[in-house]
């Protein structure tokens, strides 16, 4: 029995509990290397002549081994997550334009339905469907131009009132493209209204038909 107790005492060691902060200080840790030096793997070159980009790329590739040369747009596209984020934004813009076509089309269709008696009277006195369609289209274009003008001025004033930390940038080509698309949305959305105006029966419209 004594030998068994001594054997147990020999194999089992006492356990000591210390706080976590103390353990982090006393435990063995790897020593940081003091001979480490920064290694640059990206170099940016700014050209005085932007048209010499291709020549400079060939010169760098011929001078430096194992190097990949890319211009600024290609470098931006290579940023992780940039392409996926741009794809999401482009999808949102596409759906916004599609919804805009539906909203504008519904607005002009309601406007045309309110003018059914007037259009029927014009047809009763001899106005052709072509004149009615052209007149409806001109009204749609006029309303669209006024709406785009008001929206553009409102957007510009809103951007001027934003804080300096918000990254908002307006470029000429982007503004021109947005305005052109919005001006195109009006006539596209109004095609249903033009078709509706052309199919109005004069007698039915003025209440004389069955």
Computed over every residue of the chain, the mean pLDDT equals 77
Domain count, the chain: 1
User: Is the pLDDT confidence value at 36 over 60?
Assistant: no
* CA-based max dimension of the chain: 128
Asked if residue 178 belongs to a domain, the reply is yes
Asked if residue 31 belongs to a domain, the reply is no
Contacts of 105 (CB under 8 A, 6+ apart): 188, 189, 190, 191, 192, 193
Residue pair 151/204 in contact (Cβ under 8 Å)? The answer is no
pLDDT at residue 52 in the model: 78
Asked if residue 136 belongs to a domain, the reply is yes
Asked if residue 36 belongs to a domain, the reply is no
Buried-state track 139-167, b at ≥16 Cβ within 10 A, e below 16: bbeebbeebbeeeeeeeeeeeeeeeeeee
Q: Tell me, what DSSP letter sits at residue 52? A: G
Asked if residue 16 belongs to a domain, the reply is no
Q: Which of 14-28, 30-44, 53-67 comes out lowest in average pLDDT?
A: 30-44
Residue pair 157/73 in contact (Cβ under 8 Å)? The answer is no
Asked if residue 64 belongs to a domain, the reply is no
pLDDT mean over 30-59: 71
Buried-state track 116-131, b at ≥16 Cβ within 10 A, e below 16: beebbebbeeeeeeee
Asked if residue 128 belongs to a domain, the reply is yes
pLDDT in tens, 159-206: 888 887 777 777 788 888 888 888 888 888 888 888 888 888 777 766
Structural domain including 177 reads 96-205
Asked if residue 2 belongs to a domain, the reply is no
Higher per-residue confidence, 123 vs 13: 123
pLDDT at residue 17 in the model: 63
pLDDT in tens, 75-99: 777 777 878 888 898 899 888 888 8
CA distance 67 to 56: 13
């Amino acid at each position: 029995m004594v030998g068994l107790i001594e054997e147990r005492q020999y194999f089992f060691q006492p356990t000591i509990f210390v706080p976590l902060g103390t353990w982090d200080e006393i435990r063995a840790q790897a020593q940081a290397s003091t001979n480490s030096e920064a290694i640059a793997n990206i170099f940016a070159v700014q050209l005085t002549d932007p048209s010499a980009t291709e020549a400079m790329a060939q010169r760098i590739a011929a001078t430096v081994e194992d190097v990949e040369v890319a211009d600024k747009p290609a470098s931006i596209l290579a940023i992780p997550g940039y392409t996926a984020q741009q794809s999401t934004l482009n999808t949102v813009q596409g759906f916004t334009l599609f919804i805009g076509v539906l909203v504008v089309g519904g607005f002009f269709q309601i406007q045309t339905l309110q003018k059914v008696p007037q259009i029927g009277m014009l047809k009763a006195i001899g106005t052709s469907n072509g004149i009615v369609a052209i007149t409806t289209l001109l009204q749609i274009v006029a309303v669209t131009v006024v709406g785009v003008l008001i929206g553009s001025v409102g957007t510009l004033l809103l951007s001027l009132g934003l804080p300096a930390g918000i990254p908002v940038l307006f470029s000429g080509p982007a503004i021109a493209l947005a305005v052109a698309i919005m001006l195109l949305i009006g006539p596209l959305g109004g095609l249903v209204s033009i078709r509706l105006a052309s199919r109005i029966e004069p007698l039915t419209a003025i209440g004389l038909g069955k």
